A and B are shown apart, each in its own frame.
Chain A
Amino acid sequence: EVQLLESGGGLEQSGGSLRLSCTASGFTVTNYAMSWVRQALGKGPEWVSGISYSGGTTYYADSVKGRFTISRDNSKNTLYLEMNSLRVEDTAVYYCASSGGPNVLDNLDYWGQGTQVTVSS
């Protein structure tokens, strides 16, 4: 069974840092692009960042560019999101999602259960 398990969320002060991880089981992430998508309470999903299957190409939403860094370790079947200079508006549930192919534009077909990130002022 394909599973994605996020971890690393929590409560952090504005200006602080957090590192999220997403570990896959039931499949090998090597051939698939991956993304982080967040969702604030009562709002729709917002794509945050994506990374190609090899890790060679990364993409960011303007709202996080320069503050967040996506990376992956295919040997560990794990995706990461380093979040710096956190803002109150970064508060959300963060999901990792795998694409159905090697490109970030491929379908987001598997999602984790999400990890809550709360940034206080």
Chain B
Amino acid sequence: DVQMTQSPSSLSASVGDRVIITCRASQTISTYLNWFQQKPGKAPKLLIYAASSLQSRVPSRFSGSGSGTDFTLTISGLQPEDFATYYCQQSFSTPLTFGGGTKVEIK
């Protein structure tokens, strides 16, 4: 199974900040990497697919990069509605696996 490791597990940031979340795969997964946002009591929401493609209707302040084993999610200009938990997920092979999550909190 492909193990996904995210860092940091949590961070505090202010509105307007640039936030970077990293994700590392235990083996090369090309660009088969997706990012999700989850708010309390809600289902995960797809933000980025194929490492860097923005899902429809997702604000352009979200961006993704990386390939192979190392990936990043960047939020450029954090907005109040962006405080949430973010998960990476690999779609290279089954079982699909998720990272442990990064909780973005208000400073």
Binding site for B on A (CB under 8 A): 35, 37, 44-47, 50, 59-62, 95, 97, 100, 104-109, 111-114
Q: Is B44 an interface residue (CB 8 A)?
A: yes
Q: B: which residues have CB within 8 A of A?
A: 32, 34, 36, 38, 42-46, 49-50, 55, 87, 89, 91-101
Asked if A104 and B98 make an inter-chain contact with CB atoms under 8 angstroms apart, the answer reads no
Bound-complex Cα distance A108 to B91 (A): 9
Whether the pair A108, B46 counts as a contact (CB closer than 8 A) is yes
Cβ A95 vs Cβ B43 within 8 A: yes
Contact between B43 and A61, CB atoms less than 8 A apart: no
* 3 shortest interchain CB distances as A-B pairs: A111-B43, A47-B96, A107-B49
| Chain B contacts for A112, CB-based, 8 A | 43
CA distance A50 to B95 in the complex (A): 9
